[in-house]
Amino acid sequence: MRAAASERESVRRPSDRKARIVTAATTLFCERGYHNVSVADVAGAVGITAPALYRHFRGKPDLLLHVVTVPIEAIAASLDAAPDLDSYLWASAAEGVERRGSATLWQREARHLPAERRAQLRRALSDIASRTSTLIRAVRPELSEQNGELLAWAVLSVYGSISGHRVSLPRRRFEDLLHGLALSAAYSPLGDPFRGAEGRGPRGGGYLELSMSRREEILSEAIRLFDERGFQSVSTDDIGEAAGASGPSIYKHFPSKTDLLVAAVVRGGEQRRAGTALALARATTPRERLDQLLRSYIEFALHHSHLIGLLISELEQLPEKERRAAVQTQRDYLALWVRVLDQVRPGLERPEARIVIGAVLTIVDNAARTGRLGERADLPERLTDIGMALLLPEGAAAEPRPAAAADPLG
């Protein structure tokens, strides 16, 4: 009887059930966040029971590890199979569209893996970047190892950028656009390495450091911890210890941990808006407006890398009213980018413009948050080179329209 029951179960169980579980978990983790999804939720999405899921995975942490690892292994497999750079870029475009949520999982949810596992995955990604750099330098032998690495991370960021939005195109058109953006990144002309090497003084937006009052120290440490560990994994005691204060003393400045998150998001929006307005006020032509807008964002990201991580990963933890306001602020900012780009590159359809802009901003975000890249003294200038190569690829710019005289933040 047991043998017959086992045979019936084997017949009923799809051969790709494990893959279906990973796909369902990927979707749920992207939509709700790791902490807000249970094993039962994943099992229900696949149409099985939780005990059936445990036949494939030891638990939710094991499932998360597989969800994060699968896309990294797929990228490595594309590299193994690619005879040259262009073949790899085409394969990655197809893979990126197929697994467009994978970068979000790495940025937001890999924090919940054990430190040793995270370190292993970082090494795997670094190896992918190194191999991508080798392909780029094979067709651009004039590049230094350092610049090859920067362009490799830019290429990877292009494909990961579509995790951060829901804008879409017909499949073939989407892949063509991603391939073109990655190609522009790989072939970006990089300027004089000594230009901009004097360090990060105020440039496009003038994001000056705030004086560190006790309140600012607490807020700064909260932003860092929320970024590194995730909002739900950080307590007020953790924040107090990091800021050199007791947990209860935090409540003199912020009524709750949620208020810290709200203050961080509001502060970030205000600083970005002020810096953007200052940068655009200097521009006199549409091309200068685009250049200044890009430089302003680069400066913001480099000065506020932990805040960038928080804006990427923790908006869903805000109360509904504040979350809606933060989302609207981001939409307004992206709409500004679309308008400014349209002045220089008219005819680019809005969905394509959003995808291009998303790729540029993601390259900047990732460079500000990726190990040795963030230590380059010339990074602002090199990111400007790369960003403009994507925004205005050779032959794409048409006769610019006159700059609008309206409020630059519209």
Sign of CA dihedral 211, 214, 215, 221: positive
Q: Which of 187, 61, 177 is nearest to 114 (CA)?
A: 61
Q: How many CB atoms within 10 Å of residue 161?
A: 25
Please report, to the nearest 10 degrees, the dihedral formed by the alpha carbons of residues 130, 136, 137, 140 taken in order.
Answer: -160
Local structure of residue 108 (DSSP, 8 states): I
pLDDT at 124: 93
E strand segments, 12-160: none
**C-alpha neighbours within 13 Å on the C-beta side of residue 81:** 12
The domains located in the chain, with CATH, are 16-186 (1.10.357.10), 214-391 (1.10.357.10)
pLDDT at 193: 61
Q: State how far the Cα of 218 lies from the Cα of 94, in Å rounded to an integer.
A: 44
Q: 13-53: per-residue pLDDT in tens?
A: 677 899 899 989 988 988 888 888 999 999 999 999 999 99
pLDDT at 13: 62
pLDDT at 8: 44
Q: State how far the Cα of 90 lies from the Cα of 95, in Å rounded to an integer.
A: 9
Lookup result for tokens 């797929």: 74
pLDDT at 133: 97
One-letter amino acid at 147 equals N
Start-to-end C-alpha separation, the chain: 73
Longest dimension (CA), the chain: 83
Phi, psi of 162 (to 5 degrees): -75, -5
pLDDT 10s digit of each residue in the chain, 410 long?
445 444 444 445 677 899 899 989 988 988 888 888 999 999 999 999 999 999 999 999 999 999 889 888 989 999 999 999 999 999 999 988 988 877 777 777 888 888 899 899 999 999 999 999 999 999 999 999 999 999 999 999 999 999 888 898 999 999 999 999 999 999 999 986 655 444 444 344 444 444 567 888 899 999 999 998 888 889 988 998 998 876 677 888 899 999 999 999 998 899 999 999 999 999 999 999 999 999 999 999 999 999 998 888 888 889 999 999 999 999 999 999 999 999 999 999 999 999 999 999 999 999 998 877 877 889 999 999 999 999 999 755 444 444 444 444 44
pTM (2 decimals)?
0.85
pLDDT at 102: 76
- 67 CB-near residues (< 8 Å, 6+ apart): 22, 25, 26, 29, 105, 109
CB distance 169 to 119 below 8 Å: no
Coil, strand or helix at 190: coil
pLDDT at 396: 54
**C-alpha neighbours within 13 Å on the C-beta side of residue 130:** 7
